[in-house]
């Protein structure tokens, strides 16, 4: 036992071993995963985002991700989604990154484009497509773009099938958003290539049936993803990392396989992507591919396969809730880092609590200094004789409760 009353371990757990990627050192291996809030104003953040991300930063995460942030207004899912496509947004995002850094975490942005999944309501309305009733209430639907329009789930306004000019424009939008993210102070950029959004729509043959150089073979279906990744990587500071979130498999009714994801990870590694964030699902079709079971750590084995076969760093995410479970994933070599989403909404100080559970000498050091000071004092108080000796406790309490009782001193 240490002075703080916790078990000591001879070696620091991997979860709390700082991670250096390029020139960036991250204080531990715990990532606050991107979490859409559907509460932005015209793409920009507000008080809510300060509080939401602030909880995660002061709770001890190594990296704090903002939610998926669209690279152009029509690339948002809803009117209330985050976006970074003009200079007016930069100052507001900078207040977030400054705050996250002040609390010892690394600020990260996830850049994305929703493609055919745009023009809808948020999660609480199960992403119901916007229609003319919504237009009457000030939330007009917009035309969404996708690789192959005729096989897309319908929207009230017919889809636009992307031509070469659209593809070039979206890649340019990623470039602009990348530059604005740098100005806003982000130190990690992640490209959202998962969950059935635009990049994933190109990757999966369930959503991509193009006849041109962006469809057909795996190499062709990966082309858009690689072009976006190269564009972002070329602009992002050399000393800072770029991540890519992919769906390792399509899940129910889809067609994208783990072997294809391994091939994509290799190609991304070759254009300088530093870390693959391994998720799954988002594109449904009519195949007999089953749903990915939602067991604890349900995507960690996909991460392990990609890490070993593509020889690239990975992040495990999905159903990770326990400190020892996270440590075991890292120790097994299934990933380099661990991301959590829902557990952090429930318990935003999870990293500090995990440090306690794993026996770090000073788990409170993951919380702000003022909190840590008081919590260390509480641990010390537990060990004082007056708080441990049953007879003394009883005599003391009797002294306070009964005017006639003698002092125990």
Ligand X SMILES: Cc1cc2nc3c(=O)[nH]c(=O)nc-3n(C[C@H](O)[C@H](O)[C@H](O)COP(=O)(O)O)c2cc1C
Is 68 near ligand X (CB under 6 A)? yes
Per the CB < 8 A criterion, the answer to whether 407 and 399 are in contact is: yes
185 versus 319: smaller Cβ distance to ligand X: 319
Please state the closest distance from residue 347 (CB atom) to ligand X, in A.
11
Taking the C-alpha atoms of residue 320 and residue 402, their distance in angstroms, rounded to an integer, is 52
Near ligand X by CB under 6 A, which window of 45-53, 54-62, 260-268, 337-345? 337-345
Q: How many residues bind ligand X (CB under 6 A)?
A: 20
197 is catalytic: yes
Near ligand X by CB under 6 A, which window of 33-41, 142-150, 231-239, 398-406? 33-41
Among 106, 178, 255, 279, binds ligand X (CB under 6 A): 279
Taking the C-alpha atoms of residue 68 and residue 282, their distance in angstroms, rounded to an integer, is 14
Near ligand X by CB under 6 A, which window of 4-12, 178-186, 338-346, 392-400? 338-346
328 versus 343: smaller Cβ distance to ligand X: 343
Is 341 near ligand X (CB under 6 A)? yes
Q: Which of 358, 350, 355, 313 is nearest to 334 (CA)?
A: 313
33 versus 178: smaller Cβ distance to ligand X: 33
Q: What is the DSSP letter of 15?
A: G
Give all strands (DSSP E) within 41-105, no chain letters. Answer: 63-70, 82-83
Please state the closest distance from residue 18 (CB atom) to ligand X, in A.
22
Per the CB < 8 A criterion, the answer to whether 264 and 306 are in contact is: no
Q: Which of 224, 191, 190 is nearest to 207 (CA)?
A: 224
Beta strand 24-26 with 19-21: parallel, antiparallel or unpaired?
A: antiparallel
Among 192, 200, 223, 240, binds ligand X (CB under 6 A): 192
330 versus 375: smaller Cβ distance to ligand X: 330
Among 34, 60, 196, 254, binds ligand X (CB under 6 A): 34
Among 59, 196, 318, 363, binds ligand X (CB under 6 A): 318
Is 322 near ligand X (CB under 6 A)? no
Is 59 near ligand X (CB under 6 A)? no
Taking the C-alpha atoms of residue 274 and residue 373, their distance in angstroms, rounded to an integer, is 37
Per the CB < 8 A criterion, the answer to whether 208 and 115 are in contact is: no
4 versus 34: smaller Cβ distance to ligand X: 34
28 versus 279: smaller Cβ distance to ligand X: 279
Is 276 near ligand X (CB under 6 A)? no
Per-position DSSP letters for 9-71, written without gaps between them = -SS--GGGS-EEETTEEESSSEEE-----S--BTTB--HHHHHHHHHHHHTT-SEEEEEEEES
* Residues contacting 390, CB < 8 A, separation 6+: none
Is 201 near ligand X (CB under 6 A)? no
Give the CA dihedral 256, 306, 196, 35, nearest 10 degrees: 160
Taking the C-alpha atoms of residue 105 and residue 26, their distance in angstroms, rounded to an integer, is 7
Q: What is the CA radius of gyration of the chain?
A: 24
Give the CA dihedral 195, 92, 229, 157, nearest 10 degrees: 50
Please state the closest distance from residue 197 (CB atom) to ligand X, in A.
8
Our measurement of the distance from residue 254's CA atom to the centroid of its chain's CA atoms, rounded to an integer in Å, reads 23
Near ligand X by CB under 6 A, which window of 30-38, 126-134, 329-337, 393-401? 30-38
Is 52 near ligand X (CB under 6 A)? no
CB count within 10 Å of CB 373 equals: 12
Among 20, 342, 382, 398, binds ligand X (CB under 6 A): 342
Is 36 near ligand X (CB under 6 A)? yes
Is 304 near ligand X (CB under 6 A)? no
Is 383 near ligand X (CB under 6 A)? no
Taking the C-alpha atoms of residue 204 and residue 247, their distance in angstroms, rounded to an integer, is 10
167: left (phi over 0), alpha (psi -120 to 50) or beta: alpha
Near ligand X by CB under 6 A, which window of 192-200, 213-221, 256-264, 401-409? 192-200
Please state the closest distance from residue 276 (CB atom) to ligand X, in A.
13
**Which residue is catalytic, options 85, 93, 197, 214?**
197
Among 131, 161, 183, 343, binds ligand X (CB under 6 A): 343
Taking the C-alpha atoms of residue 108 and residue 94, their distance in angstroms, rounded to an integer, is 12
Is 245 near ligand X (CB under 6 A)? yes
Please state the closest distance from residue 190 (CB atom) to ligand X, in A.
8
Q: Which of 167, 220, 224 is nearest to 191 (CA)?
A: 224
Catalytic residues, by residue number, are 197
Residues that bind ligand X (CB under 6 A): 33-36, 67-68, 110, 192, 194-195, 245, 279, 317-320, 340-343
């Amino acid at each position: 036992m240490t002075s703080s009353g916790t078990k000591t371990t001879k070696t620091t757990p991997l979860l709390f071993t700082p991670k250096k990627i390029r020139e960036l050192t991250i204080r531990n291996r715990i990532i606050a995963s991107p979490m859409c809030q559907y509460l932005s104003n015209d793409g920009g953040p507000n008080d809510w985002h300060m509080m939401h991300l602030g909880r995660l930063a002061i709770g001890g995460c190594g990296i704090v991700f903002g939610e998926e942030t669209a690279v152009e207004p029509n690339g948002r899912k809803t009117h209330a989604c985050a976006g970074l496509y003009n200079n007016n947004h930069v100052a507001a995002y900078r207040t977030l990154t400054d705050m996250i850094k002040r609390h010892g975490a690394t600020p990260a942005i996830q850049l994305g484009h929703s493609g055919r999944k745009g023009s809808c309501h948020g999660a609480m309305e199960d992403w119901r497509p916007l229609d003319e009733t919504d237009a009457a209430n000030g939330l007009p639907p917009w035309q969404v773009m996708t690789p192959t329009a005729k096989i897309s789930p319908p929207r009230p306004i017919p889809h636009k099938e992307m031509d070469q000019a659209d593809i070039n424009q979206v890649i340019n939008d990623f470039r602009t958003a990348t530059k604005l993210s740098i100005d806003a102070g982000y130190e990690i950029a992640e490209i959202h290539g998962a969950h059935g959004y635009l990049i994933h729509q190109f990757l999966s043959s369930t959503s991509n049936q193009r006849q041109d150089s962006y469809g057909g073979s795996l190499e062709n279906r990966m082309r858009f993803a690689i072009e976006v990744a190269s564009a972002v990587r070329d602009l992002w500071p050399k000393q800072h990392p770029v991540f890519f979130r992919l769906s390792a498999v399509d899940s129910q009714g889809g067609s994208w396989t783990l072997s294809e994801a391994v091939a994509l990870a290799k190609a991304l590694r070759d254009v300088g992507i530093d870390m693959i964030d391994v998720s799954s699902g988002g594109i449904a079709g009519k195949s007999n591919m089953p749903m990915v079971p939602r067991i604890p750590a349900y995507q960690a084995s996909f991460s392990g396969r990609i890490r070993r076969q593509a020889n690239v760093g990975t992040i495990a995410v999905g159903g990770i809730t326990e400190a020892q479970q996270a440590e075991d994933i890292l120790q097994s070599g299934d990933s380099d880092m661990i991301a959590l989403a829902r557990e952090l909404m429930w318990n935003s100080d999870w990293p500090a609590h995990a440090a306690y559970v794993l026996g770090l000498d000073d788990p409170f050091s993951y919380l702000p200094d003022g909190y840590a000071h008081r919590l260390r004092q509480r641990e010390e108080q537990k060990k004082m004789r007056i708080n441990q000796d049953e007879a003394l406790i009883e005599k003391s309490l009797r002294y306070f409760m009964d005017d006639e009782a003698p002092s125990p001193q």
